[in-house]
Structures are given as C-alpha cells and as structure tokens.
C-alpha cells in the first residue's frame, strides 16, 4: 500500500515500563550515550526527547521491564478511516480517554493489543515547536527530505504472514526487503522515507513472540556514533555488536545492551526510501562488514 492520508505516517513514540533499578540507568543511556534530552516528570516517569515533541520515549516505573505501547502517528484527516480498517480485522479497539491523550501529546487516540501482546496506540499529534539543538543531532520526525519518525523497532512475532498483512494491508506499510541467514529471517517494512520503521522476526535469538530485539536511533553524523561507542566502555555498558554497516539499509552503527533487556542500535547514514520507485530485494547476510557479535541480547 502506498502512502495515504489513512495510513500510519510515522513511529511517533514508544512507552516502556522499567523494573525497579532500571529507570535510572536507562536515563543514563539516553542522556550520556545518545545525547538526548532526558526530563524527569512529576509522576515518576522520564521523558526522552529527540526533537521538539514532548517525548519520543516515555519511561515509567513498573514491576518488570516491558514495552507498554507503540505510538503510531496518523494524519488527522485519515484517522477515522484507519481506525475503521483496524476494527474490521476484529481487533478490540478502545479509547483511553482525553487524559491519556493529553499525556501522550495527542489530540486523538485509540488503542488495541495484537496477538503477540504488543499494544498499538494510533494517534493524531498535537502541534509542537521545533528544538533546533536536538534537530541538529537526530534524524527524527519530519526532515527536509521526508518523514522519518522516531527510528525503528524489531519485533518477535508468532505468525509472520498475519503480522505482515496487518502492517501492509491495514496500517499502510510496504515491504522494504528481507534478510535471511542461518541465525534469523527478518522482514523489513517502511511507512515513510526511513528504510524501515519495523522489522519482523519469527522466534529467534532465544526470544519469544512479544519480545523486542532492539530499537534504532539515527544520528546526524558519523562522529556522533563513534563518540557514543567510545562512551559505552567508559560508562560500563556492554557492546552487543561492534561497529559495522548493514547490507540492506547501509546504516553505519553499533548495538549496545540496555538495562531494560533489549538492545539499542545507534547509527548514521540510513538509506532513504523513494516509495513510488522502491524495489524489494533479499539479502543473505545482515552486515557487509563489522557488527561482530559480542553478547546476545537477553530476552
């Protein structure tokens, strides 16, 4: 499905619950390693900003570390049509109310939980002012050459065909490409100019359906990535994979182990999608060089 007013525009935000003792080191990761703005909230949560939006990541205290919500931004004029398509799949949609919408920085919001336990929040964003300092650091939201959103997320799912159809036929994503190699078989999907906003894997890496393998954030310079990589050792955080470059999106990146139990990829130089002329292809290796495995992410 090509981009339309009734399709997901971008990955707007992510909400994570953090087990006791995890929220503070996660704040250190985002503030000291990635260089994001990290802002404690009155309710005990922490908001992480990558641009002018009130948050792109919300970290909340919880009993266990888990992804609590995936926020999909939808254009206002297409919101009702997308919600109707979601409802037509039999999904149980709910309106979390005006107070939750305000907390999320949204004008409208509807929520559903999929078969793997991922909570999807479809929302229309409230307008926000740009933050020039953060805009100079991160490829996030709307850029001069298109819409890119927060970054990307890699989900472990039970039914690849059903989940792929939900993203493409219902939410308006298109397939970017596929990487299949002995360790895993991943499908990559885009909804804007970012090479992929979602990657889907059947159970792999010792992770069950409903798990998140990693999140990816994109820097505006290679130097930012190199500096962040150097800070990992200084601050005592583990390297999951060394610096390298991917075959499909050509991102120069590394992966680190986050205290919340998933990996974080920080990279530069992602391939930009021209949705009208994109050609799907398959790769037989995830990286053209580097990305040597040091530690496996813990489920």
Judge residue 189's burial from the number of C-beta atoms within 10 Å of its C-beta, 0-12 exposed, 13-18 middle, 19 or more buried: buried
Parts of the chain with a pLDDT under 50: 1
Q: How far is CA 11 from CA 20, 90, 122, 123, 273, in A?
A: 27, 23, 10, 10, 16
- Dihedral sign for Cα 89, 92, 95, 96, please: negative
Q: Tens digit of pLDDT for each residue in 13-71?
A: 999 999 999 999 999 999 999 999 999 999 999 999 999 999 999 999 999 999 999 99
- The pLDDT value given to residue 5: 80
φ, ψ of residue 210 to 5 degrees: the values are 95, -5
Is residue 94 within 8 A of residue 111, CB to CB? The reply is yes
Q: How far is CA 165 from CA 71, 84, 171, in A?
A: 19, 16, 9
Beta-strand relationship, 57-61 and 141-143: unpaired
For 39, the 3-state DSSP assignment is strand
Give the angle 79-82-86 at the CA atoms, nearest 5°. Answer: 135
- The pLDDT value given to residue 233: 85
- The pLDDT value given to residue 95: 97
- The pLDDT value given to residue 6: 83
CA distance 29 to 33: 5
- The pLDDT value given to residue 4: 74
Neighbours of 216 (CB within 10 A): 23
For 72, the 3-state DSSP assignment is strand
- The pLDDT value given to residue 299: 52
CA distance 249 to 196: 8
Phi-psi region of 54 (alpha: psi -120 to 50; beta: other; left: phi over 0): alpha
Structural domains in the chain, CATH included, are 10-290 (3.10.180.10)
Beta-strand relationship, 119-125 and 66-73: parallel
Residue 156 pairs in a beta bridge with 201
């Amino acid at each position: 499905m090509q981009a339309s007013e009734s399709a997901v525009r971008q990955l707007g935000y992510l909400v994570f619950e953090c087990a006791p003792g995890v929220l503070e080191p996660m704040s250190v990761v985002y503030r000291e390693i990635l260089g994001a703005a990290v802002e404690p909230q009155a309710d005990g949560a922490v908001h992480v900003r990558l641009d002018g939006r009130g948050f792109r990541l919300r970290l909340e205290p919880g009993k266990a570390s888990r992804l609590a919500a995936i926020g999909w931004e939808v254009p206002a004029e297409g919101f009702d049509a997308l919600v109707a398509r979601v409802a037509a799949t039999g999904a149980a949609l709910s309106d979390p109310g005006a107070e939750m919408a305000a907390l999320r920085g949204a004008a409208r919001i509807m929520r559903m939980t999929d078969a793997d336990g991922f909570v999807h929040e479809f929302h229309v964003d409230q307008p926000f002012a740009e933050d020039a300092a953060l805009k100079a650091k991160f490829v996030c939201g709307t850029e001069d050459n298109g819409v890119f959103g927060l970054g990307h997320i890699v989900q472990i799912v039970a039914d690849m065909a059903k989940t792929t159809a939900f993203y493409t036929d219902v939410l308006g994503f298109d397939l970017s490409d596929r990487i299949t190699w002995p360790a895993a078989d991943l499908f990559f999907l885009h909804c804007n100019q970012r090479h992929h906003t979602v990657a889907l894997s059947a159970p792999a890496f010792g992770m069950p359906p409903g798990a998140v393998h990693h999140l990816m954030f994109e820097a505006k310079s290679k130097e930012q990535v190199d500096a962040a990589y150097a800070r990992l050792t200084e601050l005592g955080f583990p390297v999951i994979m060394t610096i390298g470059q991917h075959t499909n999106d050509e991102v120069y990146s590394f992966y680190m182990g986050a205290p919340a139990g998933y990996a974080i990829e920080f990279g530069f130089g992602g391939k930009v999608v021209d949705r009208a002329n994109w050609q799907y292809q398959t790769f037989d290796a995830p990286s053209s060089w580097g990305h040597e495995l040091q530690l496996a992410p813990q489920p």
